[in-house]
Amino acid sequence: MKINLKIWRQKNSQTKGGFVDYTLDNVNKDMSFLEMLDVLNLKLTKKGERPVEFDHDCREGICGQCGMIINGIAHGPLKNTTTCQLHMRSFKDGDTIYIEPFEAAAFPIIRDLKVDRSSLDHIIQAGGYVSVNTGQAPEANSIPTSHDEAEAAFDAAACIGCGACVVTCKNYSAALFTSAKISHLELLPQGRKETSTRVVNMVNQMEIEGFGHCTNTEACQVECPQDISVLNIARMNFEYNKAKILQRKSSSK
* Nearest of 91, 71, 75, 72 to residue 83 by alpha carbon: 75
Could you give the string, one character per residue 57-96, with x where binding to ligand FES holds by CB under 6 A and - elsewhere?
A: xxx-xxxxxx---------------xxx------------
Which residue lies nearer to ligand FES by CB, 65 or 168? Answer: 65
Which residue lies nearer to ligand FES by CB, 65 or 196? Answer: 65
Which residue lies nearer to ligand FES by CB, 77 or 128? Answer: 77
Restricted to residues 182-201, the positions that interact with ligand FES (CB under 6 A) are none
Least spacing, CB of residue 64 vs ligand FES, in Å: 5
Which residue lies nearer to ligand FES by CB, 58 or 130? Answer: 58
Q: Cα(126)–Cα(134) distance, rounded to whole angstroms?
A: 22
* Nearest of 202, 158, 169, 151 to residue 63 by alpha carbon: 158
Distance from chain centroid for Cα 247? 31
* Nearest of 47, 64, 46 to residue 55 by alpha carbon: 64
Q: Cα(22)–Cα(164) distance, rounded to whole angstroms?
A: 25
Restricted to residues 21-60, the positions that interact with ligand FES (CB under 6 A) are 56-59
Task: State yes or no: residue 163 binds ligand FES (CB under 6 A).
Answer: no
Which residue lies nearer to ligand FES by CB, 61 or 191? Answer: 61
Least spacing, CB of residue 112 vs ligand FES, in Å: 16
What does the chain come to in residues? 253
Restricted to residues 94-133, the positions that interact with ligand FES (CB under 6 A) are none
Least spacing, CB of residue 63 vs ligand FES, in Å: 3
Asked if 253 contacts 205 with a C-beta cutoff of 8 angstroms, the reply is no
Restricted to residues 130-149, the positions that interact with ligand FES (CB under 6 A) are none
Number of chain positions touching ligand FES (CB under 6 A) = 13
Which residue lies nearer to ligand FES by CB, 62 or 124? Answer: 62
Least spacing, CB of residue 79 vs ligand FES, in Å: 16
Least spacing, CB of residue 210 vs ligand FES, in Å: 24
Least spacing, CB of residue 91 vs ligand FES, in Å: 18
Least spacing, CB of residue 58 vs ligand FES, in Å: 4
Interface residues toward ligand FES, by CB under 6 A: 56-59, 61-66, 82-84
